[in-house]
């Protein structure tokens, strides 16, 4: 089953598959980039009306929905933007040969498990096809051209040497900050391949076949990938149980303290808290925890912003920003209520 969109092409409405829509949209964008200015707008307009004719011919054959195969055949008929570029057509052979050697050079330099260059044409995403937890190292490996399993091993050693917490938290933060490569366009950007209708079409086809959880084409040995995947699953299970128990206890504690603090704040009678069974020092602890969370959240937001600038990852969506802001305000209110109470009580 696929989602369909309705697209208005030169005044005619067509039902079109989601992936076909994306491909066509991208194709037209590429055409607009190839043909610029007033003249270009006219050219692309004419081509759009031709696309409409081709689709209408397709519909007259009894087809209801434009699929990606139809869009691909239209692109084959019209020609890819790079083939149509009037300036490039005379020198088409020369750059093709040049880029082939550049590609070879690229492959050769990526052969060792590390390289020391930040690729400007790539963007950092979590690699969902090569992941243990969130695909952070799969994505970093793609971005830097390093070997994912070597990075995982080094990181695991670092985690164990530093008594787990600091680097585990760093991993979690990276997981949250780095967006997943969950669309064909992002997959291409992650690999540093050009986003053209041709490559996008291939990527869409590729993602259509449900991907195996681990990328079989990852150059590293399958044994290591499977080992890390197994360790990952075990840790996930333990973490899940641990977080579930802790989370439930924390939730109950939080509810009791906040109700107690709320009543105490209204009645300005701190002693009432003892009837809830809340020791006075817990007020102080809660206030400190809320304060720490507030600071952590704000610094997290700042780190996120910095990452989106440095690594070209998309920043927080509007909804996430709103969510973080609301949590910050709630924590701030909690600190403002709890801290005076705790000071008064002690």
Partner 1 sequence: MNVDNLKSQMRKGMLEFCVLLLLRQGDAYTSEIIEKMKEAHLIVMEGTLYPLLTRLKNDGLLAYRWEESPSGPPRKYYSITPLGEQFLIQLQNSWNEISHTVQHLLKQSPTPSNSSEQ
Helices (H), the chain: 18-34, 37-59, 68-78, 81-84, 93-109, 136-144, 148-161, 165-177, 184-191, 197-208, 222-267, 272-275, 280-310, 318-345
Residue number with CB closer to partner 1 (78 or 256): 78
Q: Which stretch binds partner 1 (CB under 8 A): 34-42, 111-119, 175-183, 261-269?
A: 34-42
Grouping H, G, I as helix, E, B as strand and the rest as coil, residue 17 is strand
Does residue number 99 form part of the binding site for partner 1 (CB under 8 A)?
Answer: no
185 class by beta-carbon count within 10 Å (0-12 exposed, 13-18 middle, 19+ buried) = middle
Binding to partner 1 in span 56-85, by CB under 8 A: 56, 77-79, 83-84
Alpha carbon of residue 20 to chain centroid: 22
**Residue corresponding to tokens 């880029």:** 99
Q: Which of 4, 5, 10, 312 binds partner 1 (CB under 8 A)?
A: 10
CB of 55 to partner 1, least distance (A): 11
Does residue number 35 form part of the binding site for partner 1 (CB under 8 A)?
Answer: yes
CB of 184 to partner 1, least distance (A): 23
Contact 237, 230 (CB under 8 A): no
Residue number with CB closer to partner 1 (10 or 258): 10
CB of 312 to partner 1, least distance (A): 31
Does residue number 96 form part of the binding site for partner 1 (CB under 8 A)?
Answer: no
Does residue number 39 form part of the binding site for partner 1 (CB under 8 A)?
Answer: yes
Residue number with CB closer to partner 1 (59 or 297): 59
Residue number with CB closer to partner 1 (57 or 245): 57
CB of 38 to partner 1, least distance (A): 9
Q: Which of 1, 6, 13, 86 binds partner 1 (CB under 8 A)?
A: 86
Total site size for partner 1, rule CB under 8 A:
22
**In degrees rounded to 5, what are phi and psi of residue 66?**
-75, 125
**In degrees rounded to 5, what are phi and psi of residue 85?**
-60, 115
CB of 196 to partner 1, least distance (A): 14
Q: Which stretch binds partner 1 (CB under 8 A): 7-15, 63-71, 236-244, 328-336?
A: 7-15
CB of 69 to partner 1, least distance (A): 18
**Count of alpha carbons within 13 angstroms of residue 206, beta-carbon side:** 15
Question: Tokens standing for 280?
Answer: 């006075």
Reference 229, options 160, 157, 143, 134; nearest CA is 134
Does residue number 11 form part of the binding site for partner 1 (CB under 8 A)?
Answer: yes
**In degrees rounded to 5, what are phi and psi of residue 5?**
-115, 160
41/36 Cα distance (integer angstroms): 7
* Contacts with partner 1, residue ranges (CB under 8 A): 10-12, 35, 39, 42-43, 46-47, 49-50, 52-53, 56, 77-79, 83-84, 86, 89, 93
């Amino acid at each position: 089953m696929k989602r369909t969109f309705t697209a208005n092409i030169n005044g005619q409405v067509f039902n079109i598959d989601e992936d076909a829509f994306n491909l066509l949209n991208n194709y037209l964008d590429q055409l607009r980039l190839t043909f610029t200015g007033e003249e270009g707008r006219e050219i692309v307009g004419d081509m759009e009306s031709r696309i409409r004719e081709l689709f209408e011919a397709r519909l007259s054959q009894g087809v209801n929905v434009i699929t990606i195969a139809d869009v691909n055949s239209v692109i084959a008929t019209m020609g890819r933007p790079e083939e149509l570029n009037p300036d490039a057509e005379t020198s088409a052979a020369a750059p093709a040969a040049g880029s082939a050697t550049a590609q070879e050079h690229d492959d050769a330099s990526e052969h060792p498990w590390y390289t020391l260059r930040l690729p400007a044409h790539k963007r950092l995403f979590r690699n969902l096809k090569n992941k243990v937890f969130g695909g952070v190292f799969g994505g970093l490996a793609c971005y830097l051209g390093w070997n994912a399993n070597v990075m995982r091993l080094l990181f695991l050693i670092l985690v164990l040497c530093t008594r787990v917490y600091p680097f585990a938290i760093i991993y979690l933060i990276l997981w949250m900050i780095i967006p997943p490569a969950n669309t064909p366009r992002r997959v291409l950007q992650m690999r540093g391949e050009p986003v053209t209708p041709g490559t996008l079409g291939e990527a869409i086809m590729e993602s259509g076949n449900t991907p195996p959880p681990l990328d079989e084409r990852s150059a590293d040995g399958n044994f290591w990938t499977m080992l890390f995947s197994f360790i990952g699953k075990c840790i996930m299970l333990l973490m899940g149980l641990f977080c579930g128990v802790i989370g439930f206890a924390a939730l109950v504690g939080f509810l009791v303290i906040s109700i107690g603090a709320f009543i105490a704040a209204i009645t300005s009678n701190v002693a009432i808290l003892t009837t809830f069974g809340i020791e006075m020092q817990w007020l102080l602890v809660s206030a400190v925890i809320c304060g720490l969370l507030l600071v952590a959240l704000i610094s997290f937001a700042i780190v996120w912003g910095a990452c989106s600038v440095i690594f070209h990852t998309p920043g927080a969506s509007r909804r996430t920003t709103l969510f973080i802001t609301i949590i910050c305000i709630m924590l701030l209110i909690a600190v403002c209520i709890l801290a005076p109470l705790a000071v008064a009580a002690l």
